[in-house]
Amino acid sequence: MTPPQNVIVLMLDTLSAKFMGCYGNEWIKTPNMDRLAKEGVLFENWYTEGLPTVPCRRAMHTGRYTLPVSGWVPLAPEDTTVADLCWGRPIDTALVLDCPMYRLPKFGYTRGFDKVWFLHGHNADENFYAKDQLYSMDVENYIDEESGKKYAARNGQQALDALKAHTATLLKQVQNWSKPEDRFVAKTIKKGIEYLKQADRNKQFFLWIDSFDPHEPWIPPSTYMNFPCPYDPDWKGKDEINPLPDIADEVYTEEQQHHIRMLYAELVTLCDTWLGHLMDAIREMGLESNTLFMLVSDHGTPQGNGEWGHGLMRKCRPWPYEELARAPVIMRAPGITAGQRISAFTQSCDVAPTICDWLGLGVHPNMQGKSLLPLMRGEVDKVRDFAIAGFYDYSWAIYTEDWSYIHWLADEKANAAMRATFYSEHVPDEHLKAIGGRGYKTDSASLAVEGAKESKTLTFFDTLDGKAQWTCTPLAVSAMPERDELYDRKKDRNQLHNVINEYPEVASHLLDTLGSYLKSLHDKK
């Protein structure tokens, strides 16, 4: 008798491929991620089509593109999720999470799971501890005074005070941490292992473990156990655990930016440790022989100048550059050749059809993503010709083998014009030329506030009113460059040298392709 086929998904939120050994980082310690890549299949060109947190998860659970149709919105009644499809079948479904975005009021992303465990306290849920007394930690020890002054000069004292208040609330729970196991990722994966120990081995199961680590705030063990950061042991300044969300140069020195990245790196290594515990548990329970294991992330993260973040610290602008839009994904399953590195374009909406295919449910006809099992088995060499990414109503991007192109929806007027154009029958040549030739003050290698258009400040709590907000970053603004951008993907993977002036015809063709594709997806909503 063939044993039931199961699925385990581990989501590590904000995990950047730049900080994983198996993706080419030569100095970070991620032995378990590297081991998983050797045992499974690593996807080199996986892009999140709809950014950030909530749109990505909607795509992963429904198998449908979100970028053309919606942003940060609830799961719709007409959406069909993997958990919905498992209901009424002999498949037990479980969700273990510390990601508060799943639990936004009336958003419905826990819908359909037989069992749900939520662990309190992560970013956006820290108010669970708001009435606790802060005894042993001081906010001022975690915000550099000069950086704070620069931030207040740009954004107002009220913005700095709000960030300090947020940090204080975080510290109310951190003050009780004394060991690495106190961190969220440890507790969440432990709970996932508890589920596996009690799961009925005679039935199929689908387990989704959603760890918000290594999402900011970046509070690795060195910051609360008082030892030097292992990746920056000589640092003498303050640990900016909850970085000021802004143009990096305006508030931080290069040394500060580097240290923030090293705190993040330490947290990634902690996540890797607990991935190892989960992998060991799966092996000890004999689940490797019939279980598809997926390590996924919703996106990377901007963390400073150049290739690290195009000048941004945190997701404080809706900019779908490579460091954010590209996500690391590794899958392992019995019968799949180990050690593969697949360069074909894959997307967040491919998660649901792959899970359904493995569970034997078949790919639901409403799913626009593709099952990746044929790709992993070598039956096909690609599932699409290009990948897309972006923020609904703010930015669109397309990634091909040779080029990457970003189109900015700079304001409501331009947005309306673009949607009207792309959702009509064709794209006039003169419109494409106009978009390619708008005024532009600088290129993305040195982008700061110059050349960007500011809108009103958006806070996380706008989402509670049901607005299609683009980010969960408090105090973020929807500033965008004023001109579209084209990059030679083979020579400039990090998107630092805009060549739209040299290749306007390439830009026009890519915009046409992108618009036509988004229109086709929109028409199928």
Average pLDDT over residues 445-466: 33
User: pLDDT tens digits, residue range 303-316?
Assistant: 999 999 999 999 98
- For 191, other C-beta atoms within 10 Å of its C-beta total 17
Tokens 């993907």 label which residue? Answer: 489
Strands (E), 152-202: none
Give the per-residue SS3 of 243-283. Answer: CCCEEHHHHCCHHHHHHHHHHHHHHHHHHHHHHHHHHHHHH
> Mean of the per-residue pLDDT values for the chain?
88
Residue length of the chain: 525
Instruction: Please report the pLDDT score of residue 66 as a whole number.
Output: 95
Question: What sign results for the dihedral spanned by CA atoms 25, 30, 31, 37?
Answer: negative
Tokens 């593969």 label which residue? Answer: 340
Average pLDDT over residues 109-122: 96
Greatest Cα pair distance, the chain, in angstroms, is: 69
Which token pair is 258? Answer: 């580097």
User: pLDDT tens digits, residue range 364-383?
Assistant: 999 999 999 999 999 999 99
Check if the beta carbon of residue 229 is closer than 8 Å to that of residue 188. no
Measure the CA–CA gap between 371 and 379, rounded to whole angstroms: 12
Measure the CA–CA gap between 332 and 15, rounded to whole angstroms: 18
User: For a pLDDT cut of 90, what percent of the chain falls above it?
Assistant: 79
User: pLDDT tens digits, residue range 399-447?
Assistant: 999 999 999 986 544 455 444 444 343 333 443 343 333 322 223 332 3
HSE-CB at 206 with a 13 A cutoff on CA atoms is 25
Average pLDDT over residues 92-116: 94
122: amino acid identity, one letter: H
What pTM did the predictor assign? 0.91
Helix orientation angle between 254-284 and 31-39, rounded to the nearest 10 degrees: 50
User: pLDDT tens digits, residue range 224-257?
Assistant: 999 999 999 999 999 999 999 989 999 999 999 9
Instruction: Please report the pLDDT score of residue 434 as a whole number.
Output: 36
Check if the beta carbon of residue 331 is closer than 8 Å to that of residue 46. no
User: pLDDT tens digits, residue range 125-159?
Assistant: 988 999 999 999 999 999 999 999 999 998 899 99
